[in-house]
Homo-oligomer: A and B are copies of this chain.
């Protein structure tokens, strides 16, 4: 599935999307929601909550609202979904517990080991719309040995804003083509490519749990991998 290409030789930095690509948010968040809101269809609620994600971040990037940490956006949107779709008025403690679920969502089974393999040859960084504290807790919880954690709060911008992709390039003193963006989301990879980064698509067919992923495939990536372990194989790690 790999394109024979010389350009992979100059890759120095791998930048990973986290929610969906490295971690299994649907399972992790559903599990916590089932505990916190007994009687609710937790899998459905997790999907409804996640569907508010991209539009809310887009509002921030459009300037329609001021920059806020993902934790705060998560809280606001869950509260709205619970009230509007489930007739539930959550307590502060319930919202705290649910928002925190994103800090400790489990890695896909190949994630921690693949990061260890990949960091032997590359600088391996998270590049996520999560904030640094969230991602740091997620990494410790799962044993992700990132070389660096690129959280959206470093730039006060959310992907797919170019400031995030160009931000990691600058911090790493790299050229855009020396950075490989790795994600299971076509929109993330397209935005990275438009900033000059190279891209790798990782299949995560179970990302949305019981429903199909809303994005279609794309054939413009330098690598297409069935998982992070396959990507490590393809990169010779």
Binding site for B on A (CB under 8 A): 69, 71, 119, 123, 131-133, 136, 139-140, 145, 147-149, 151, 153-154, 170-174
Contacts and interface: CB of A to CB of B under 8 A. Distances in A.
B172 A148 contact: no
B153 A136 contact: no
A171 B133 contact: yes
Contacts of A71: 173
A173 B123 CA distance: 26
B133 A172 contact: yes
Interface of A is mostly: mixed
Nearest to A150: B132
8 contacts: A71-B173, A123-B136, A123-B140, A131-B173, A132-B172, A133-B171, A151-B171, A153-B170
A123 to B, nearest CB: 6
Given A123-B136, A147-B149, 12 more contacts: A69-B173, A71-B173, A119-B140, A131-B171, A132-B172, A133-B172, A136-B148, A149-B149, A151-B171, A153-B171, A154-B154, A154-B171
